[in-house]
Amino acid sequence: GENVEQHPSTLSVQEGDSAVIKCTYSDSASNYFPWYKQELGKGPQLIIDIRSNVGEKKDQRIAVTLNKTAKHFSLHITETQPEDSAVYFCAGNSGGGADGLTFGKGTHLIIQP
Amino acid sequence: KAGVTQTPRYLIKTRGQQVTLSCSPISGHRSVSWYQQTPGQGLQFLFEYFSETQRNKGNFPGRFSGRQFSNSRSEMNVSTLELGDSALYLCASSSSRLEGQYFGPGTRLTVT
C-alpha cells in the first residue's frame, strides 16, 4: 500500500519568513495530493491540492510543487503570519483512489513573532 | 452553505459496548469518507461511501462498519469497543470522490 512520509515534524520560522514542508510517497498509482491545515479543536481544512499532471500550483501565499519522477511534493508558504500556526498534513490517494487517502504524520508549524 | 456536521461531538463508552456516529455532508456532496485520528497513528482512512455504496475500505477490523443513506448522510458503527478505539473520528464530504474533501469537526470518542 501507499506510504507517505512527511518532514519535518516541527518547523519554527520567524513571522514574514517562508516555510517549506516536504512529503514523499511510494505508490506510483497515486495521482492526487492534497494538503490540509488543522487548528486545535477543529477538523482538517483543505488548503491546496495538486494532480499528477501538474508540476506546480499556487494560491496567493501558498504553493505546492510535485516531482512525479522522484515521488515527492512540497508545500511552500511565503510571508508567514501568526495565523499560519497549525498542524499541516500532506496526503496521497493510494491506488489512484482505490485505497483511500494516505496521510503523512503531520508538521507542527510555529510562527515566531 | 452549511459545512459538514458530526454528532455527537463527544462520547464516552465502556469496553465491549458499541457506538454509532453520524455525519451530515455538505448539501450536494455524494461522497462521504471516515477517518480515525490518534496521536500515535495520525490520520487513518476508514472507508468511503459514494451514492450509498462503500467504494473502498482502509485497514481496520470488521468491528468498524458504516453506511450511507439516500440523502448522503452517513453513519459509522464500532462494535465491541476496545481501549485502543479512543480517538477523534472525522467525517469528510466531497462532490468528487476523494478530491476536494471538506472535514467536519469530528467526534471525540473515549473508551474506558
CA torsion sign, B41 to B47 to B50 to B52? negative
Q: Is the pLDDT of residue B42 over 70?
A: yes
How many degrees, rounded to 5, is the angle at CA A64 between CA A40 and CA A42? 15
Cell of B40: 500515535
Q: Which residue of A has its CA nearest to B90?
A: A43
Cβ distance of A100 and B103 shorter than 8 Å: no
The region of weakest confidence among A86-90, A96-100, B36-40, B82-86 is A96-100
Q: What is the mean pLDDT of residues B33-47?
A: 94
Nearest to A99 among B56, B102, B105 (CB): B56
**Bridge-based pairing state of the strands A101-103 and A86-93:** antiparallel
CA B11 – CA B28 distance, rounded (Å): 28
Summarised one tens digit per residue, pLDDT across range B82-108 is 999 999 999 999 987 778 899 999 999
Q: What is the pLDDT of residue B1?
A: 67
Summarised one tens digit per residue, pLDDT across range A58-83 is 999 999 999 999 999 999 999 999 99
Nearest to A101 among B4, B45, B59 (CB): B45
